[in-house]
Structure 1
Amino acid sequence: MEQSLREYAGWAEEEACIPGEDPVEEMLRAREDEKRCPVQAWLVPVVDDMDRCIRERFSTLILQEMNARLANGELSLLLGNAAVSERIAPRDLEIGTITCWRLNRTDFLADVDLSVSMTVEKEGRDIAGRFGFCLGLWFCTEEGFSCEVQELHLAADKPDRSFWKLDRFLVPILREDEIESGAERLWENLLPGIKDPKDRTARMLAEKLGLEIREMRLHCQNRTRSILFFREGTVLVQDEKKPGEEDFPLPVSRQVPANTIVINTAARSECRDLDILHECIHYEWHLLFYRLQKLMSTNPLEIRYRTVRNSIGRPASDPLRFMEHQARSGSIALLLPQNLIRGKAWRLFQQASTYPSVEGYINHPGFRWDRVIRRLSDEYGAPRTTLRRRLVQLGHPAARGAVNYVDGRYITPFAFTEEHSSRGQATLVISRKALTDLYHRSSEFRQLMGRGDFVYADGHVCMNDPQFLRPTKEGARLTPWANAHADACCLWFEKVWLRENEESVWLFGTLNSNEDYVREYDRFLDRRLSLTARERLARRNRLMQSMPNDFPDALVYLMENRDGGKVTLEELAALAHVSSKTVSRYRGGMRSGYNPDVVVALCIALHLPPWLSRLMLDKAGFSIKSYGPRGHYGEILDCCFMDTIPEVQEYLRAAGYPELKLQED
């Protein structure tokens, strides 16, 4: 089932800053207010639960059973006193807590606490009172929900079961170690003769479970990697285009037999074996939930949702969240058993500590786990990102800094302090697509990026300071110290489980940052980090007033006073991917008009902060707006001004914007 990351900023509301206030300080105050009263809206599934099921469908059966045991004397025997009541009326019986226990994939036990009003004879007197019992019910879901009454106990003698406990939605309540042991038992029970994990395959396990695997290209479901059908159903499929055809064929409906895993070939997947094992976990551990809901498949689109406002945090009443966590963790445990990986990975990590540093970087845990993951990936044929998740799962959070594939390449491994190693779903890594999505949705984030306080560098949003960033031919990169202490200078992003556009996806949520840095930093104007917000604004205004008014002279001024040192005409032409003749004409004022794409490229080549780029565009006769044919200029000047021109062009292509046209007549 789909477990994709979708970038999103949770604070999409536009809020104007108070005039005269530092927008960064205003943002921090707003964040503190939200922490004190974090009211949030959540979408949770509307699903049936066993509490309601038993009270509505089986209360009559329970009442009849208690009256039968009253008549045959069993209640008197349990209480140690003769029951005087002839019968128990509906108003005399109250159903209390219901505790469910998993027996196997189709059967479970329900311990039902009962409070019964009765009269008993004690010391020659009739005494009325309420008495507590626990009645066991055995449910089999093979053919509907059949129920068989089991033993009856006094409430004080309620049995302590050794089975997996189920929540009220019949989803197992599992610790991480129980997920690990449950996955290992699955191999042992179904393939007891195969001990070496290298000899096990996902398709072998699916076959033993009685599951068929079919590959189809699902129509308009490019996020869903696989679907498990417990019963016969249908899917809408669309074949690939044939050579020479411009349009895809029309979608058609296909029948899917019961007990089938559909692999969606239209969705990208790092590991098809992992997708199959994911559905095997659903089939073995979560059939009871879907039998309760009477669903045709595990597709979450078939579940209705309602909005809940919550002032504490993420609601705990979403069974899909727990099932997906168990399927994700369980499938990785099946693919890479901990008894195989744990010891071997740690030995390789210790060996990697003796390796020399690379290109001046510190041989920190990020680099060491990177070597371990690549070695294990080659040996076991498992995807590197899957191995990284597995190592984090086994208690090595520093592995998050290794093998991060961002924007078509692996970024440099990085490290962070132990203090930030247990931040749950927080991440220091973000793609350009995620960055721009956040930029569009969050006015606060646009303020940070527009001020030039932070820049995008090597998969991180890093503070714009020479001690943290260094220019390279490939664009801005973290310095060796910043690379080894990424949490000290880069923004954290948290992942939250939400539901949007009828798909269950991971979304980016809260922006977190180091308050001291954000509050006081403005590199271009305040190198010693000592100015107040008002002083920085005054210095910015003085700089803007002191620069030459016309564009050619301002360009010469910036080339000669560039923060990274003076840049020559030829160097700027190479950085901006324009001809030397073009730079010469723009410097010399030999043109009556300027190409806005070339002006943008010159600003990016000089790595000008966003506010200074806008000033240069203004001097060239252009303005930045959030709409129209040049609406994307502000986006790339704010988010990509430390990148190279090829990186900017690649981003524009990926985002569907027109590339910068840099060739002039």
Structure 2
Amino acid sequence: MRSKYYNFGSTPDWIQDTYQYPDILDIIEQEEKAKKARRRKRTTGYKPSRDRANIRARLGAGAFVSKEEAAYYRRTCTPFELAELERFCALHDCIGIASLFSSSDRGLNHGYSEGYASTVLEMNGRSSLVMMPTATPDINIDEDSAEKVHTVLDVLQNNLHEDFGEALRFLAQTCPTDITEALGMTDALSVEFEGCYVKRVESSWEQRLDDFKVDVIVSADFMLKVPAEHYCGDKTMLVYRDTRRTIDYRFRYTFDLYGVNGYKTCSGPITAPVQYFPEDRITAQSEWTTNRILRPNLTAKDFPILARKMLQDIYPEALEAPTRLNGELLVKRLSRWLNKRYRRMKLRLRKEHLGKGDGVKGRIIFSDMEVLDGDGEPIKFKAGDIVVNLDEMRFDTDVLVTIVHECVHVYVDLSFFMLQLMAGKPHYSFIDRTSRWLKSERKRQGSDYQMELIEEMEKQDEKLTAYVMMEESVFRSECDRMFAITGNDRTPPTLMWMLENLSAEFGASMQMTKIHMKEVGIPQAEGIWNFIGNRIRVPDHAVSGVWSNGIVYTIDTPDAIALTSSSQRFAQVLLSGKYIYLEGHYVLNRPKYVETASDGTLSLTPYAHEHIEECCLAFRPRRRRKYYEYSCGAAARTKKEGNDKYKTVELVSEPGDADYDSENMSFSDNAQLWGELAGSLHGTFHDALQMVLDEIGVSQTTLASRMGISRQAFQKWLKRDLMMKRHVVGICIALRLDMGVSLKLIELASLRLGCYGPDPIYLHLLCDRNMTVERGNDILVAQNYKKLNDGRQFEFDLLDFDPTTQEELRRKYGIADEK
């Protein structure tokens, strides 16, 4: 870490340190050596060549040759060629043939300015200490991080050797008045740094790459000696007592992710308490906020806005009328737009035959690399190449969709990929949804937060691709125009006519267009263009009333088999013998819904196709998980492998006429009962809890057993004036209470759920009516939070309570009000 190399100096005027920066020519020479070493490394998908002439030519040129190729060449050598090979080995410092094919050491140390240069900056009318080193990243990173996704914190701590603790310790030693003034304790005698942790990273996506500001919010603990009065009999003595206080510091770094001078740098940090920073787009966090990998945090409402912004910059005519984007023109315009912002940055579209089978449809290259084609021969690509694999293109629309998808990567994710390159990753590679590597890594080390960010990036870019190709306002207008022609007819034949025309008009695939129709408010589109196993098309169907959101009536056989194993209810329904599987549905075996053709073939009746909810089992698909592989340099678009839409489904209802209606009625009655119970709760938390226990018929002993604690421990909880938030949440989960009742109990306990710490987890635990205390404990412990039934230590956080209770606690315990 950087802390042990600090050279802060002893003079109070913060004189510039005398660090000798490495010679730029040495850096360039080392970079050239690193490039040559990387060229000799093979790709992860490398296939040994069996072309002897090719192997011989590469040996002579000093290019990379694998051990398998060398062994093959040696086995097939003529005596003359074998003698030539031995002479060749002897010329290379007499090393053996195996040594010719060993890879060189990973990474080079480019040097880094150890220590801070300090200055003073006027900020909001006051002077603040600023530490401003400028550094190029050290790319001598450990080998295990080759396939890792690097966050801003990774680059700062691993590559730039930043040590937030030592920086804060330096601040406490050289400028303690910032701390005492921020805490409102100007009479403190001394300030000592105790510890810190990173709370969050803040930035804004809409910044230039060569001036990209990132804030790291660090919560720091300081021990202050403050004067206090001590009464000793009749005398009053002035003493100093130790007081621990916490303050949030903002570390602002300025990254040159583009590399104006040929290499990427980082300047900073500008450091001050958060309240002293002037408000700007980063501190306000009001628009286009980013996560730790410098990608925008997108919500559902952001997709149409971001797509419209991209079209305004690149393809404005698509905002005026239905437009089929021209892929080649889109790449040229995006390249011009990019080159105006950053010289040397250009894009080029390349259509190549890279082979079929690995699922990679396209790539956007961010660093020079070689990729093997379908015959195993290397093809050289340069940074900025958008590569379309023609061997994976099944339809004409696939080419356009792939091009748009890669352009979205450039427009939205450029800061992310430049951050990865700044980390000095020695390998090029790409995002790959069908990665065997990622699946094996998940088996080995479980879920990984950083890989989840990559999964989220790819899913969001896929969705954004549809919004770019079919701009929302234009798409809605076109749908309204078609509905006006058909008299607002939403039957399957009309919707299929609309789907075909919209797909042809915008150049999107049928499936993408169907999903977009549902997103703009046409849920009936769920009944058309459905397939089993991505091969067999299911006849279109409709419901007689309103199509419920998230409900489907089609399921594939393998998914039904998996559901039978996991759902006892579904298994019992099938064992009843009332249903048969036809056309992708489990339908009631009645003449009203099933007809027999002259050849004995069974099929659904026209009535069943128009009233699918009346006769078929309904399912709710849960969110599916996709897999991606990442390493920096390129992003790749892959095709779907198999139909994984229903890998996790649940049976919603069994539509047995009266049974189906009674189930709907029971749901409404149940919701009303829970609402009445929540409305009747009053008094203290203890009174309300007893009302709930009496209403649902559960004793305190039973509740304690469900919580996994003894009745004596539970009674001890209830005797306290204050309830711990985790205990109240655990009680609600153990009783499987409705969300409204749970929130009412939390309110009566004078508690509140916030947006930080374990509170978001608590909220999601309460939303899941099938959640158990044991499962909730596992989830919390995995995130380093205490268990729901942990009662070994009584402690409270003022922020857990409402403002009124906070004031009472301050008066009761003598807690000072932090200004």
Distance 1:202 1:136 in 2: 42
Aligned residues of 2:165 and 2:196 also touching (Cα < 8 A) = no
Partner of 1:114: 219
1:265 aligns with 2:390: yes
Report the 3-state secondary structure (helix = DSSP H, G, I; strand = E; otherwise coil) of the residue aligned with 2:391: coil
Distance 1:220 1:138, change over 3 A: same
Q: Deviations over 1:582-607 (max 9, x none)?
A: xxxxxxxxxxxxxxxxxxxxxxxxxx
Distance 2:173 2:571 in 1: 72
Aligned residues of 2:191 and 2:224 also touching (Cα < 8 A) = no
Aligned residues of 1:190 and 1:205 also touching (Cα < 8 A) = yes
Aligned residues of 2:455 and 2:627 also touching (Cα < 8 A) = no
1:154 aligns with 2:274: yes
* CA-CA distance at 1:484 after TM superposition: 2.3
1:465 aligns with 2:585: no
Distance 1:256 1:105, change over 3 A: farther
- Map of 1:564-603 to 2, 5 A cutoff? none
Partner of 1:299: 431
Aligned residues of 1:83 and 1:119 also touching (Cα < 8 A) = no
Partner of 2:816: none
Report the 3-state secondary structure (helix = DSSP H, G, I; strand = E; otherwise coil) of the residue aligned with 1:497: coil
1:96 aligns with 2:199: yes
Report the 3-state secondary structure (helix = DSSP H, G, I; strand = E; otherwise coil) of the residue aligned with 1:482: helix
**Counterpart residue identity of residue 332, structure 1:** A
* CA-CA distance at 1:52 after TM superposition: 5.5
Distance 1:429 1:191 in 2: 38
* CA-CA distance at 1:182 after TM superposition: 0.9
Distance 1:417 1:70, change over 3 A: farther
* CA-CA distance at 1:326 after TM superposition: 1.0
Partner of 1:64: 167
2:289 pairs with one of 165, 172, 193: 165
Distance 1:455 1:324, change over 3 A: farther
**Counterpart residue identity of residue 399, structure 2:** R
Distance 1:479 1:86 in 2: 85
Partner of 2:252: 137
Partner of 2:349: 213
- Map of 1:24-423 to 2, 5 A cutoff? 47-51=149-153, 54=156, 59-60=162-163, 63-64=166-167, 67=170, 71=174, 74-75=178-179, 78-79=182-183, 82=186, 89=193, 91-104=194-207, 106=209, 107-119=212-224, 128-140=243-255, 141-142=257-258, 143-144=263-264, 146-150=266-270, 152-154=272-274, 159-191=283-315, 195-196=319-320, 198=323, 200-207=325-332, 208-209=334-335, 210-238=346-374, 250-267=375-392, 268-269=394-395, 270-290=397-417, 291-292=419-420, 294=425, 296-300=428-432, 301=435, 305-307=441-443, 318-353=452-487, 364-404=490-530, 411-416=538-543, 421-423=548-550
**Counterpart residue identity of residue 112, structure 1:** I
Report the 3-state secondary structure (helix = DSSP H, G, I; strand = E; otherwise coil) of the residue aligned with 2:380: strand
Aligned residues of 2:219 and 2:247 also touching (Cα < 8 A) = yes
Aligned residues of 2:593 and 2:608 also touching (Cα < 8 A) = yes
Aligned residues of 1:234 and 1:256 also touching (Cα < 8 A) = yes
Report the 3-state secondary structure (helix = DSSP H, G, I; strand = E; otherwise coil) of the residue aligned with 2:248: strand
Compare 124-133 and 179-188 and name the one that shifted more.
Answer: 124-133
Aligned residues of 1:398 and 1:421 also touching (Cα < 8 A) = no
1:509 aligns with 2:647: yes
Report the 3-state secondary structure (helix = DSSP H, G, I; strand = E; otherwise coil) of the residue aligned with 2:354: coil
Aligned residues of 2:308 and 2:319 also touching (Cα < 8 A) = no
- What is the TM-score normalised by the length of structure 2? 0.47
* CA-CA distance at 1:340 after TM superposition: 0.2
Distance 1:323 1:180 in 2: 16
Aligned residues of 2:454 and 2:628 also touching (Cα < 8 A) = no
- Map of 1:642-661 to 2, 5 A cutoff? none
Distance 1:388 1:85, change over 3 A: farther
Structure 2 unpaired stretches of 5+: 1-146, 229-237, 336-345, 630-637, 660-819
**Counterpart residue identity of residue 168, structure 1:** R
- What is the TM-score normalised by the length of structure 1? 0.56
Distance 1:353 1:463 in 2: 33
* CA-CA distance at 1:92 after TM superposition: 4.2
Distance 1:511 1:66, change over 3 A: closer
* CA-CA distance at 1:183 after TM superposition: 1.3
**Counterpart residue identity of residue 314, structure 2:** L
**Counterpart residue identity of residue 115, structure 1:** A
Q: Deviations over 1:458-486 (max 9, x none)?
A: 45443433222224589543223321232
- Map of 1:551-630 to 2, 5 A cutoff? none
Distance 2:220 2:607 in 1: 66
* CA-CA distance at 1:264 after TM superposition: 1.8
* CA-CA distance at 1:501 after TM superposition: 12
**Counterpart residue identity of residue 344, structure 1:** E
Aligned residues of 1:46 and 1:305 also touching (Cα < 8 A) = no
Q: Deviations over 1:316-358 (max 9, x none)?
A: 9712331122111110111010110113313423542466xxx
Structure 1 unpaired stretches of 5+: 1-44, 239-249, 356-363, 522-665
Report the 3-state secondary structure (helix = DSSP H, G, I; strand = E; otherwise coil) of the residue aligned with 2:360: coil
Aligned residues of 2:324 and 2:505 also touching (Cα < 8 A) = no
Distance 1:366 1:316, change over 3 A: farther
Count of aligned pairs between the two proteins = 450
Distance 2:598 2:476 in 1: 39
Percent identity between matched residues is 17
Distance 1:232 1:493, change over 3 A: farther
Aligned residues of 1:102 and 1:164 also touching (Cα < 8 A) = yes
Aligned-residue CA RMSD in angstroms? 4.6
Distance 2:466 2:354 in 1: 25
Distance 1:119 1:437, change over 3 A: closer
Aligned residues of 1:416 and 1:485 also touching (Cα < 8 A) = yes
Distance 2:266 2:544 in 1: 54
